[in-house]
Amino acid sequence: MIKVYILIVVIGLVSGVIYGAYFYYNDTQNRIRILTENSAQLEIAAQTQKNTIDTLVQDAEQNAELAKELNTRLEAANNYKNELIGKLRKHDLSRLSQQKPLLVEGKINHATKKLLTEFEKITGAVPVIADPTVK
């Protein structure tokens, strides 16, 4: 009878070990599957992040270049403005317009037409008045 009990105990122990090994194997395979999926998602996220960083760096470089160009153009515009201010200070338009009003009026009208024509060219608008005297 003891042999039967020993056999039952041994079969129980072997069954327990086999069940434990089976459970451990299934649990390990499940963890491996989950970790593989997580790894794939992290690789995709890392690649997306790298692409985003590269795009941001390129945008920053482009913005720096555009800012440099704008600063150059601003400096040129300021120099031109200062040149015009100097010309206006040099000529006394009030006195000249009182002495020769038709001359000053003609020059101002011509310059205004020229400026408006330039605005039309810049914006792509069709000229409202085609004036052959304005170049």
pLDDT band (50, 70, 90) for residue 88 = confident
Confidence of residue 5 (pLDDT cuts 50, 70, 90): confident
Domain positions in the chain are 2-90, 92-135
Contact 115, 134 (CB under 8 A): no
**Residue 116, class by beta-carbon neighbours within 10 Å (0-12 exposed, 13-18 middle, 19+ buried)?**
middle
Place of tokens 């205004």: 112
Confidence class of residue 132 from pLDDT cuts 50, 70 and 90?
A: low
- The residue among 99, 104, 135 whose CA lies nearest residue 117 is 135
| DSSP 3-state of 1 | coil
pTM value?
A: 0.50
What local confidence, expressed as pLDDT, does residue 118 receive? 87
Q: Greater confidence, 90 or 130?
A: 90
